[in-house]
Amino acid sequence: MAESKGALIAKTVQKHAGRAKEKLLQNLGKVDRTLDDIFEEHLQNFNRQHQQATRLQKEFNNYIRCIRAVQTASKSLMEAITEVYESGWSGHDLLYVQAQNLEMLWQDFSHKLGDQVLIPLNTYTNQFPEVRKKIEKRGRKLVDYDSQRHSFQNLQSNATKRRDDVKVTKGREQLEEAKRTYEVLNSELHDELPALYDSRVLFYVNNLQTLFSAEQLFHSESHKVFGELEVITDKLANDCQRGSYSKKSNNVAVNNMAANNMAAAPAAPAALNGKHTDTVQTPPSPALNGSSPPPSPAAGDTPAAEVRAPPLPEPRSEEPTKAEAPTPPAKREDKSPTPPVNNNNVEKEPTDKKVEELYDIPVGSPVPPEKSNNNTEEKRQVDVEPKGEKEKENDSENKNDDVYDIPIGATLAGLPAGTLYRVRATYRYTREDSDELSFDVGEVIRVVEYDDPDEQEEGWLMGIKESTNEKGMFPANFTRPI
């Protein structure tokens, strides 16, 4: 047993030594080698195919690891978002549902990439090492065949001198055996290598189609989920702009309610007597408007008209928050003039108010009243006779002075030509008509005169946004002078 094992080792060493000697002689050009150009071409294609498949497998494994890392990060992010999004906010339940849908999409996407893309790719690349071993074996058998061929040629040349037929016969048998072994392997590889090279097209088609289909489905469905999340946050933003979640605006509402209850306190005895007093309130005290109140109705009398006490004014706010944006004053729909009103007993309202007093509305204050179709409710005419041209011009000039009276604190130095003063937006406003101007908080607007004085609206200014040079009307109570 020991002798057979030693003989096997000696035979193996002799083979390796013979092959090394043959390769050395071939490299030195002492002996020739068997060439196969067709096989060399197949071998080049195989090496390139193997290299490309190995790189694709490496990069896809890295991609799978990154996808799973992003999946974990996305899950943690959505958990933090659902925790931040308070239960009292609109769409809280929908946001939680969409977060769960997104997590399911990530799981399905990760499983598809692993099962339907990575596993077939690993199977495809695992066949190359086996073919590589066969190619290396074919190379060794080719060296053995060349070595036996050269040995037999030497025996033939020496046989003519020594006439040793036994060695020649044995050398011929060894040459035939080496040739047969080499040709079998060579023939198999001539069939397998082209077939393997041609199979790459169908494999890559199926593999890449599965990859791209999984990617397309995941991104399409996740796009829908993020669209729903965006709708939820947009609704929250709208509610926030209306002051639904502002603690300050809620305090203002409570203060107004308390003021109304205090003003309606004298009517309590009527409620005790069974009288209907849901909407009847006494006028404000002299401390509020400077006039003496009319006598209260008797307990059994029904008031002739409903009287409401105005809400107590809130302190002026320097920088109102974005969540407490006021409502822009109403614009007139019909701009056609109406006949003057014959009413000599109506007092004119003061026309020397500043723009700051007209439009700088404190937080919680009521919205400016709607203006009539021709502005006659704010400035009523007392003359019955039609006015002349000169009087119309004077009225137009007075109207311009009222609208464009420069507010206190506005900077007038260094203004472009045609600019009355500048204002800065304290609220975000989105236009509702084509002749209006949209702007964000902090944008600067140059106030200019109206092209047509008849288009002037109370509570509205004409301006040019400095960032885009857009021109249009905008509500004055959304801005403050600078």
| Residue 360 resides in a domain | yes
- Strand, coil or helix: what is 449? coil
Percent of the chain residues topping a pLDDT of 70? 66
Average pLDDT over residues 123-147: 94
pLDDT tens per residue across span 42-101: 999 999 999 999 999 999 999 999 999 999 999 999 999 999 999 999 999 999 999 999
H or E segment and range at residue 235: helix 165-241
Task: Please list, in sequence order, all residues whose beta carbon lies within 8 angstroms of the beta carbon of residue 336, skipping any fewer than 6 positions away.
Answer: 373, 374
Last residue of a domain, one of 241, 270, 286: 241
Average pLDDT over residues 378-382: 39
Same domain, 98 and 196: yes
Q: What pLDDT does residue 40 have?
A: 94
Query: What is the rounded average pLDDT for all residues in the chain?
Result: 76
Confidence of residue 395 (pLDDT cuts 50, 70, 90): low
Confidence of residue 244 (pLDDT cuts 50, 70, 90): confident
Same domain, 233 and 352: no
| Residue 3 resides in a domain | no
CA dihedral 81, 82, 87, 93 (to 10 degrees): 130
- Strand, coil or helix: what is 423? strand
Range of the domain at 468: 324-482
Say how many C-beta atoms besides its own lie within 10 A of residue 432's C-beta.
10
| Residue 278 resides in a domain | no
Q: Examine the pLDDT at 153 and tell me if it is beyond 60.
A: yes
Same domain, 353 and 211: no
Please state, in angstroms and rounded to a whole number, the distance separating the CA atoms of residues 100 and 95.
9
pLDDT tens per residue across span 445-460: 999 999 888 888 888 9
Q: Examine the pLDDT at 357 and tell me if it is beyond 50.
A: no
Q: What pLDDT does residue 29 have?
A: 82
Which two tokens mark 128? 């190359």
* 463/320: higher pLDDT: 463
Average pLDDT over residues 325-349: 50
Same domain, 48 and 195: yes
Question: What's the whole-model pTM score?
Answer: 0.47
Please state, in angstroms and rounded to a whole number, the distance separating the CA atoms of residues 292 and 273.
26
pLDDT tens per residue across span 405-418: 788 878 888 898 88
Contact 87, 180 (CB under 8 A): no
* 76/282: higher pLDDT: 76
Question: Total domain count for the chain?
Answer: 2
Contact 282, 261 (CB under 8 A): no
Same domain, 360 and 467: yes
- Chain centroid to CA 458: how far? 40
User: Which CATH number do you get for residue 339?
Assistant: 2.30.30.40
